[in-house]
Structure 1
C-alpha cells in the first residue's frame, strides 16, 4: 500500500470541518504517484462528489482536452483539489456550488500538504484563485500572473492559470473560445517547463 492509498482512506474519516456532514465522500487526488506535474483545483463538484474521483465532470473533460492540445500526457499528471469535499447549497433537487470558506481550506491543508510531500512534482499548477491564494499567497492575481512562474518553495516551478470551470461560465461562445485559447497557452508553458516526456 502506498502512502497516497493510505491517505485516500484516511481522508474519508476527516471531520475537521462541517463539509463531511453534507457530502457523500471526500474526493482525494488521483494520478501518477511520481508525476512531474500536479494540478490543484478548488474543490470537487457535484459529479466528483457522487463518483469519488476528481475532475470527472464538465470542467475535467475540458482540462483533458486542453492537456492533449498542449502536449501533456494526462496519465503522467496528478490532479487534486484544495478542498476535498463539495461545498454547496441545495435548491430543490439540485446541489449548487458554493465557494469554499476559509475554514474548509484550512481544514484540508494537511491533506494537500501530504499530497505535495508524496508526489514531489516538478511543476505545480494552481487552477484558479482558491488554490493560488491558498498555496502561494493572497497577493496572487490569476488574471495578471497566469502562465508565468511564481516565487514558491512548493515545487521547482509554480504556475497559476484559470480553472476550466471559469471557461465554461463565459457569457458567449467567442468569450469561451478566447478563454480556452489562453488556458491552452498557459498549459503549453507548463509543458515547456516539464520538458519532453520519455
Structure 2
C-alpha cells in the first residue's frame, strides 16, 4: 500500500503507473514477487497537489485527508484479506500502525496490525527517486529489494 496517487496515477485512475510504479515493478521482480498476484492501493485515494506553473506538485496529505479515506481503505483490506500487508512510506505506515511508527526505524520486519498479522513497513519507491546521487540511489534501491525479499519469504511461509 502506498501513500497517495501521484500526478500520473491520478490522471490514469490507477496506482503505481508512474516512475515510482516502474521502480516498484522492477524491485518486485528482483525480489521474486509476481506483480500480477499483488493488490496495490493507496492509503489516501486522491492526489493532493499544488500548482507550479503547468505542473501539479505533490503535497503531503493531512490527517483529515487520511481519515476521510480510511473507510474505503478498510473496506479494501477486509475484501482482500492480505496474507502480507506491505506499507510503502510514512503515510501508509502511520495510517495502519499509528503515529508512533517510523519507516527507517521500523522497516524490515513483520509485525501484527489490525488488518494483517504480517504487516511490513518499508520505504516508498518515490523516495528512491529523490536520492541525491547515483551511489545513494543504488544503495537505497538494494535495501528496498532486500526488504521485498523478506516479504517474498513471508509470502512463501504464509502458503
TM-score, normalization by structure 2: 0.97
Q: Could you tell me how far apart the structure 2 residues matched to 1:81 and 1:51 are?
A: 14
CA contact (8 A) 2:111 2:117 kept: no
Which residue number in structure 2 is paired with residue 30 of structure 1? none
Aligned length in residues: 159
1 or 2, which has the higher strand percentage? 1
Which residue number in structure 2 is paired with residue 147 of structure 1? 108
- Choose from 144, 148, 154 the match for 1:187: 148
Please provide the CA RMSD for this pair.
Answer: 1.4
Which residue number in structure 2 is paired with residue 161 of structure 1? 122
1:50-106 CA-partner distances (Å, limit 9, x unpaired): 111110000000000000000000000000001111000001100010000111000
Q: Could you tell me how far apart the structure 2 residues matched to 1:152 and 1:113 are?
A: 12
Which residue number in structure 1 is paired with residue 79 of structure 2? 118
Offset, 1:152: 1.5
CA contact (8 A) 2:128 2:141 kept: yes
SS at match of 2:45: coil
1 or 2, which has the higher helix percentage? 2
Q: Which runs of 4+ in 1 moved over 2 A?
A: none
TM-score, normalization by structure 1: 0.78
Which residue number in structure 1 is paired with residue 88 of structure 2? 127
- Structure 1: unaligned runs, 5 residues or longer: 1-39
Alignment of 1:60-99 (within 5 A): 60-99=21-60
Higher mean C-alpha displacement, 58-67 vs 146-155: 146-155
- Choose from 52, 58, 66 the match for 2:13: 52
